[in-house]
Amino acid sequence: MKICIIGTGYVGLVSGTCFADLGNDVICVDKDKHKIENLKIGKIPIFEPGLEELIVKNLKIKTLKFSTDINRSIKDSNIIFICVGTPTDKKNKNANLKYVYQVAQSIKKNINKYKIIVTKSTVPITTGDKIEKILNSKKNKNKFDVVSNPEFLREGEAIRDFCYPDRVVVGTNSKKANKILKSLYIPLVKKDSRYINTSRRGAEIIKYASNAFLATKISYINELANLCEKTSVDVKEVSLGMGLDQRIGERFLRAGPAYGGSCFPKDTKSLIYTADKVKINLSIVKSVVKFNEQRKKLPINKIHKILGKRLKNKKITFLGVTFKAGTDDMRESPSINVIPYLSKKNAEIRYYEPTGYKDAFKKLKNVKFFDKIKDACNLSDLIIIHTDWNEFKQLNFKKLVNKKIIKIFDMRNLYSIKKMKNNNIKYFSIGR
Ligand code: UGA
């Protein structure tokens, strides 16, 4: 099938590459010339395990191409995926659809034969209706269908999530479009996942409802972690005991800092906005957003509890600074709040991060990047395990820190309290 992917951000790049790997003829388009030139030689702008290799492989066999020529690419394709960004609007907190509608205008001019226009970007309910309105004209009559096909990829696990999806949701009332998209997804659907055909608006809501539910699940266990901490119970036991009930499920029950990333914070707010507009009060999602905002203060409060009020000249080491493991993404990462605060308090901040130096801290004083865990930890007053990268799971802190008194704040509950106690390490974690 001839596929055009518009927008080579995270969603577009992963989907385009994986569709190409399934043997389709894929062209990925972006207006960023520099990005496209790099992609043409297999250089990718994001850190995503396995993606670069897959791009290089498909560039070689020419199933995957990159271009800045949006008009030609649309004309040459049967299916067009809109994968541009929908960032949160600063004013109203809803998703900003400027880029989506700009793309719709470009598509409108280039419909030369029947095409399926698919929104893969996360878009609020009724966006599909609006795109359809933009595309409608005498010339384009019966020449297109607008479909919602949300993606459920996680950063850091995207290739696996694409190849082995729990479900593929295709929102359209058009039998023709559904048949074509089903044949596109059949190689994945065969692998035990479910292909669901819903209404277009239904698919749009499913995406938001899923992310808001996962954000709720995390906030639920985070709130219980607060109770566990006060009652000397280990929240990990609670997660285990709850999660084994299949109606609840064990995934996304890990207590930690406020959830971050580009999706949960953005999508929960956008869902609330949409509901408010039709006078529906999503009170549960509202409390989740509020609770998560409050939770952003947790790391700073803990650091003061461990090191006291004065942080001046205290050597504080961060192991990882990204919002989660497997990604170089810093959006809504707890470190974005905590490190500037510590810098203002004149602490001496060091960080080690597997995906390298981060521009986010460039302008802050007393913040230094180390490319070796050992150097970052040496003689530190406090080690903060910020991100749950595998390489932080079995460290010998006694060798790394070289101090009599070792203090660790484990924001991801990676270590056993008992082992830490036996090693005489002052160990603080979350909900335990
Ligand atoms: C999320 C969804 O999981 C994907 O299904 C969805 O496609 C994607 O958003 C999107 O809308 O594009 P992602 O943002 O990559 O994916 O990250 P997650 O793995 O879901 O983690 C989000 C946040 O929740 C992170 O801050 C993570 O540390 C936190 N989290 C996750 C927990 O605190 N506890 C958990 O048990 C799981």
Based on the domain organization, do 176 and 260 belong to the same domain?
A: no
CATH number of the domain to which 377 belongs:
3.40.50.720
Q: Where are the beta strands (DSSP E) in 17-106?
A: 25-29, 64-67, 79-82
Which of these is catalytic: 18, 28, 228, 263? Answer: 263
- 338 CA to centre of ligand 1 in angstroms: 20
Span 401-412, average pLDDT: 97
- 99 CA to centre of ligand 1 in angstroms: 24
6 with 12: CB under 8 angstroms? yes
Alpha-carbon dihedral of residues 264, 146, 98, 279, nearest 10 degrees? -60
Q: What is the pLDDT of residues 408-424, one digit of tens each?
A: 999 999 999 999 999 99
Quick one: what percent of the chain has pLDDT higher than 70? 100
State yes or no: pLDDT of 89 exceeds 90: no
- 206 CA to centre of ligand 1 in angstroms: 16
Based on the domain organization, do 238 and 342 belong to the same domain?
A: no
Q: What is the pLDDT of residues 346-383, one digit of tens each?
A: 999 999 999 999 999 999 999 999 999 999 999 999 99
The DSSP code for 390 is G
Rounded Cα–Cα distance for residues 409 and 338 (Å): 13
Burial of 152 (0-12, 13-18, 19+ CB in 10 A): middle
Instruction: Report the pLDDT value the prediction gives residue 98, as an integer from 0 to 100.
Output: 93
Question: Beta 64-67 vs 407-410: how paired, if at all?
Answer: unpaired
Based on the domain organization, do 315 and 413 belong to the same domain?
A: yes
User: Is 213 near ligand 1, meaning CB less than 6 Å away?
Assistant: no
State yes or no: pLDDT of 163 exceeds 80: yes
Q: Which two three-digit tokens encode residue 236?
A: 């990990």
Which atom of ligand 1 lies at the shortest distance from residue 267's CA?
11
Q: What is the pLDDT of residues 135-145, one digit of tens each?
A: 999 999 999 99
**Domain end marker among 155, 172, 198:** 198
Contacts within 8 Å (CB) and 24+ apart, 289-296: 289/265, 291/219, 291/222, 291/223, 292/215, 292/219, 292/222, 292/258, 292/259, 292/265, 292/268, 293/258, 295/219, 295/222, 295/257, 295/258, 296/257, 296/258, 296/334, 296/337
Based on the domain organization, do 76 and 170 belong to the same domain?
A: yes
Instruction: Report the pLDDT value the prediction gives residue 192, as an integer from 0 to 100.
Output: 78
Instruction: Report the pLDDT value the prediction gives residue 308, as an integer from 0 to 100.
Output: 98
Q: Nearest residue CA, atom 8 of ligand 1?
A: 154
Based on the domain organization, do 103 and 29 belong to the same domain?
A: yes
CA distances (Å), 55 to each of 22, 26, 193, 207, 308, in order?
Answer: 12, 11, 24, 27, 50
Instruction: Report the pLDDT value the prediction gives residue 94, as an integer from 0 to 100.
Output: 84
User: Is 253 near ligand 1, meaning CB less than 6 Å away?
Assistant: yes
Instruction: Report the pLDDT value the prediction gives residue 153, as an integer from 0 to 100.
Output: 95
Which atom of ligand 1 lies at the shortest distance from residue 151's CA?
7
Rounded Cα–Cα distance for residues 169 and 164 (Å): 14
User: Is 217 near ligand 1, meaning CB less than 6 Å away?
Assistant: no
Rounded Cα–Cα distance for residues 24 and 221 (Å): 42
Q: Which domain holds residue 283?
A: 207-294
Q: Nearest residue CA, atom 35 of ligand 1?
A: 252
User: Is 408 near ligand 1, meaning CB less than 6 Å away?
Assistant: no
Alpha helix segments (H runs only) across 136-199: 158-163, 175-189
User: Is 150 near ligand 1, meaning CB less than 6 Å away?
Assistant: no
Rounded Cα–Cα distance for residues 221 and 83 (Å): 32
- 324 CA to centre of ligand 1 in angstroms: 8
Which atom of ligand 1 lies at the shortest distance from residue 215's CA?
24
- Assign 3-class secondary structure to 342-369: HHHCCCEEEEECCCCCCHHHCCCCCEEE
As beta bridge partners, residue 318 has: 351, 384
346 with 311: CB under 8 angstroms? yes
User: Is 211 near ligand 1, meaning CB less than 6 Å away?
Assistant: yes
- 261 CA to centre of ligand 1 in angstroms: 7
407 with 381: CB under 8 angstroms? yes
Based on the domain organization, do 247 and 313 belong to the same domain?
A: no
Q: Who contacts 230 (Cβ-Cβ below 8 Å, separation ≥6)?
A: none
Based on the domain organization, do 142 and 17 belong to the same domain?
A: yes
State yes or no: pLDDT of 191 exceeds 90: no
User: Is 254 near ligand 1, meaning CB less than 6 Å away?
Assistant: yes
Q: How many CA atoms lie within 13 A of 307 on its CB side?
A: 27
- 162 CA to centre of ligand 1 in angstroms: 15
State yes or no: pLDDT of 65 exceeds 80: yes
Q: What is the pLDDT of residues 272-329, one digit of tens each?
A: 999 999 999 999 999 999 999 999 999 999 999 999 999 999 999 999 999 999 999 9
- 5 CA to centre of ligand 1 in angstroms: 24
State yes or no: pLDDT of 114 exceeds 90: yes
User: Is 325 near ligand 1, meaning CB less than 6 Å away?
Assistant: no
Q: Which of 13, 154, 251, 328 to mutate to test the pocket of ligand 1 (most atoms within 8 A of CB)?
A: 154
Of 306, 384, 300, the C-alpha closest to 341 is 300
Q: Nearest residue CA, atom 2 of ligand 1?
A: 154
> What total of structural domains would you count in the chain?
3
State yes or no: pLDDT of 93 exceeds 80: no
Q: Which of 164, 240, 263 to mutate to test the pocket of ligand 1 (most atoms within 8 A of CB)?
A: 263
Based on the domain organization, do 177 and 220 belong to the same domain?
A: no
The DSSP code for 88 is B
Based on the domain organization, do 38 and 174 belong to the same domain?
A: yes
φ, ψ (nearest 5 deg) of residue 226: -60, -45
Of 346, 350, 358, the C-alpha closest to 383 is 350
Angle at 277 between CA 214 and CA 213, to 5 degrees: 5
Band (pLDDT 50/70/90 cuts) for residue 150 is very high
Quick count: other Cβ atoms within 10 Å of Cβ 3? 25
Instruction: Report the pLDDT value the prediction gives residue 91, as an integer from 0 to 100.
Output: 82
Based on the domain organization, do 253 and 349 belong to the same domain?
A: no
Rounded Cα–Cα distance for residues 224 and 207 (Å): 26
Based on the domain organization, do 419 and 286 belong to the same domain?
A: no
Q: Among this protein's residues, is 377 annotated catalytic? A: no
CATH number of the domain to which 224 belongs:
1.10.1040.10
- 265 CA to centre of ligand 1 in angstroms: 10
Based on the domain organization, do 303 and 411 belong to the same domain?
A: yes
State yes or no: pLDDT of 393 exceeds 80: yes
Phi-psi region of 252 (alpha: psi -120 to 50; beta: other; left: phi over 0): left
**Domain end marker among 146, 173, 198:** 198
Provide the mean pLDDT of the chain: 96
The DSSP code for 391 is G
Span 423-428, average pLDDT: 97
**Domain end marker among 180, 198, 216:** 198
For residue 123, which amino acid is it? V
Of 411, 21, 111, the C-alpha closest to 254 is 411
Phi-psi region of 121 (alpha: psi -120 to 50; beta: other; left: phi over 0): beta
Question: Beta 367-370 vs 382-385: how paired, if at all?
Answer: unpaired
